[in-house]
Each structure stands twice: as structure tokens, then as C-alpha cells.
Amino acid sequence: MEDCIFCKIVRGEIPAEKVYEDDNFIGILDANPKVEGHTLIIPKKHFKTLLDMPNSLGNEMTEGVKKISLKLIEDGKAEGFNLVANNFEVAGQIVPHVHFHIIPRKKGDGLKILA
């Protein structure tokens, strides 16, 4: 997708803080983090929502989520985490290229994830 911001990041045309990469996914720090370490996991291929992404990528995506989350915990940036995916505009999806938010949580952080 020519104009998609996440496709541009995958192609290296605009900068991002990449914290993870495997064959089919990248992990980048969110440009407007809810907390330090707020990470997005993004497939390298363009799919609009989770409904468009083939199931065959599911295991690899889960593996990426687990590696990123475990590192956040090991680095002391998280004690737990929320995994959030906004699908379709009505659910708050702003970037129409499927992605999951990994949001680090700590005791007493007061974050309201869906508010």
C-alpha cells in the first residue's frame, strides 16, 4: 500500500523505533505512548483489520507479542501488559493496517485502557 504509514515504516521510508523484527512482523514504539514501552506489533504485509490477516500468521504474531512483552517485563518496564487491537473506525482504528498494542502495566499506574 503506497500511502499507508505502517507500510512506509516497514519499507524504511519513515523512521520508527524498531524494538522487534522477525520474518513477517515488526515491533515499534508507539509515537504517542500511553506509557513508556508502549509497543505496536505490525505485520510486514498490508492487511486492513484482523479479519483480513490469514490465520497462518497467528502463531508468529503471538510469538512476537510474547517476546516483546517478556522483554518489557525483564527490562523492568512492565509487571503485566494489555494487548489491544482496534478494528474498524467505529472501534477507534486510526491506522488502517492491522496492529496490536502491547501496553505495559505497573501496579498503581492508573491507566484506563478503553476510556
By annotation, the residues acting in catalysis are: 99
CB atoms within 10 A of CB 31: 10
d(CA 47, CA 45): 6
Outline where the chain has alpha helix (H): 5-10, 58-74
Q: Does 20 bind Zn ion (CB under 5 A)?
A: no
User: Residue 115 class from Cβ within 10 Å (0-12 exposed, 13-18 middle, 19+ buried)?
Assistant: exposed
Shortest reach from residue 5's CB to Zn ion, in Å: 7
Chain residues in the site for ligand AMP (CB under 6 A): 5, 16, 28, 30-32, 40, 86, 92-95
Shortest reach from residue 16's CB to ligand AMP, in Å: 5
C-beta closer to Zn ion: residue 1 or 29: 1
Residues in contact with Zn ion by CB under 5 A are: 1, 4, 6-7, 46, 97
